[in-house]
């Protein structure tokens, strides 16, 4: 009961969005009913939670099991989501239930909201379908050759989706397969890593796009998407592959398993033989490859300068290390995976026993999640950041970040230009 009281703080605050929770929940029930388990053979309906990340106010479609949410009288259950927990578009176990969580504010476009809702609703049933996959590192898609051949593939997929006839669609799919095959042959483990993220995020996005009838949006985004691509590629390639498979192999999702490569599934469904390098270069030539190559070479110069700056600031320069075991909220659309360096998050929220770190201007996370770094002022490590007997969090700021340091933790220097978060020693330990 004490734990329940601590985590079930009642709050009555206005929503951060103009769309009332009751309307959102009505849209959700309609979307779940209309989808009706057609795609995966199971219903996507389930407990839905809307949370304001700033105020922690929460609204839900149903009561929780611990009494944290109270009936507001209109079929909406409201309460406060605990401090120290990530608020994001995700699935979460809280107060005795497995929820689909959507972070406010929501998209103003109803179709966008539907895609988002069903994307996250699929993640809730993903483990039951035995399709949960580990996070894959696709840094090769942010290199010059990776970006170039991915965009050749995307131009072909966009043409295939917009095709008026079967012949044009077949030719365009063959171009996409040739570009994808050539790209994956350039990089070790590329096929497996891309496959993993396509299953993890591509299938979720396909589910939302298919139910919302958003093919036109996919075509538009395939033609205009900008880097970084290492994580976001699955949000475009997944729906594109899926919608093209729908045309020739209805019901294909029911046969997907953890070993399925949906890009290969597309190749097999359209009966396309193994392409050669010549096929890939022909596809690039016919899809504006010369102009694209020129643009991407200019982009690569900018990117290499950016990588050198990241190394200078976060590897060679003074930095504060965040220990392993943190929870992370980040924007996948601006995350850049850099081979041999890590994942660069321009904005992010890190949480741990040590407190909450809000990043507004850059952080570097190790590929294996063993640490994260932010830029540290040269003067860091003074008495203001040492432990104290106060039970209140202490606020520490640095270049592009602010840290609410939990009681019992300090920032201490561990080497030249390197600081770490460490627990304070008790008097008996000194």
Per-residue pLDDT of 328-363, as tens digits, reads 999 988 999 998 899 999 999 999 999 999 999 999
Confidence of residue 381 (pLDDT cuts 50, 70, 90): very low
DSSP class of residue 272 equals P
With beta carbons less than 8 A apart as the criterion, state whether 405 and 385 touch: yes
Domain boundaries, the chain: 2-126, 139-287, 309-429
- Would the pLDDT of 388 be above 60? no
Q: Tokens standing for 169?
A: 């669609």
Per-residue pLDDT of 235-269, as tens digits, reads 999 999 999 999 999 999 999 999 999 999 999 99
DSSP class of residue 250 equals T
* Helix, strand, coil % over all residues of the chain, rounded to 5: 45, 20, 35
Per-residue pLDDT of 112-135, as tens digits, reads 999 999 999 999 999 999 999 988
Q: Looking at residue 73, what is its pLDDT?
A: 78
SS3 153: helix
Q: Looking at residue 380, what is its pLDDT?
A: 64
Portion of the chain with pLDDT greater than 70, in percent: 91
Q: CB-based burial of residue 117 (10 Å sphere; 0-12 exposed, 13-18 middle, 19+ buried)?
A: buried
Q: Tokens standing for 408?
A: 């019992």
Sheet holding 70-71, edge to edge: 70-71, 77-80, 57-60, 48-51, 97-103, 90-94
Q: Looking at residue 136, what is its pLDDT?
A: 87
What is the pLDDT of the chain when averaged over all its residues? Answer: 91
Model confidence, pTM: 0.88
Q: Looking at residue 137, what is its pLDDT?
A: 87
Per-residue pLDDT of 215-225, as tens digits, reads 999 999 999 99
**Mean predicted confidence (pLDDT) in 28-40:** 97
Q: CB-based burial of residue 299 (10 Å sphere; 0-12 exposed, 13-18 middle, 19+ buried)?
A: middle
Q: Looking at residue 426, what is its pLDDT?
A: 65
Per-residue pLDDT of 142-200, as tens digits, reads 999 999 999 999 999 999 999 999 999 999 999 999 999 999 999 999 999 999 999 99
Residue 111 backbone dihedrals phi, psi, to 5 degrees: -70, -40
Is the dihedral angle over the CA atoms 299, 304, 309, 314 positive or is it negative? positive
């Amino acid at each position: 009961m004490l734990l329940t009281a601590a985590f079930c703080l009642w709050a009555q605050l206005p929503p951060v969005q103009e769309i009332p929770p009751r309307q959102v929940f009505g849209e959700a029930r309609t979307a779940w009913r209309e989808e009706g388990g057609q795609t995966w053979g199971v219903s996507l309906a389930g407990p839905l939670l809307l949370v304001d990340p700033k105020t922690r106010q929460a609204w839900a479609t149903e009561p929780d099991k611990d009494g944290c949410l109270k009936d507001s009288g209109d079929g909406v259950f409201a309460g406060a989501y605990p401090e120290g927990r990530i608020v994001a578009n995700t699935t979460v176990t809280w107060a005795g239930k497995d929820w689909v969580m959507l972070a406010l504010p929501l998209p103003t476009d109803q179709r966008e909201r539907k895609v988002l809702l069903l994307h996250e609703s699929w993640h809730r049933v993903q483990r039951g379908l035995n399709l949960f996959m580990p996070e894959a590192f696709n840094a090769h898609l942010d290199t010059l050759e990776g970006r170039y051949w991915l965009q050749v593939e995307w131009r072909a997929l966009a043409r295939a989706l917009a095709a008026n006839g079967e012949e044009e669609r077949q030719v365009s799919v063959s171009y996409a397969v040739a570009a994808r095959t050539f790209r994956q042959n350039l990089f070790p483990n590329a096929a497996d890593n891309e496959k993993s993220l396509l299953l993890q995020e591509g299938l979720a996005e396909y589910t939302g796009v298919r139910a919302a009838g958003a093919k036109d949006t996919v075509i538009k985004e395939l033609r205009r998407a900008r880097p970084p691509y290492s994580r976001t590629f699955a949000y475009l390639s997944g729906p594109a592959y899926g919608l093209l498979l729908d045309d020739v192999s209805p019901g294909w999702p029911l046969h997907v398993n953890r070993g399925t490569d949906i890009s290969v599934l597309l190749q097999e469904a359209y009966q396309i033989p193994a392409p050669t390098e010549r096929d890939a270069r022909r596809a690039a030539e016919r899809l504006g490859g010369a102009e694209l190559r020129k643009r991407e070479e200019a982009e690569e110069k900018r990117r290499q300068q950016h990588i050198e700056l990241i190394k200078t600031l976060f590897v060679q320069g003074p930095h504060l290390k965040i220990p392993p075991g943190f929870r992370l909220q980040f924007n996948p659309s601006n995350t850049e995976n850099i081979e041999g360096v890590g994942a660069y998050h321009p904005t992010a929220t890190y949480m741990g026993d040590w407190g909450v770190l809000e990043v507004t201007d850059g952080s570097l996370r190790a590929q294996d999640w063993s640490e994260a770094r932010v830029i540290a002022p040269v003067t860091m490590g003074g008495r203001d950041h040492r432990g104290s007997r106060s039970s209140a969090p202490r606020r520490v700021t640095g270049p592009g970040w602010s840290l609410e340091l939990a009681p019992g933790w300090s920032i201490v220097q561990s080497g030249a230009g390197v600081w770490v978060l460490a627990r304070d020693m008790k008097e008996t330990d000194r």
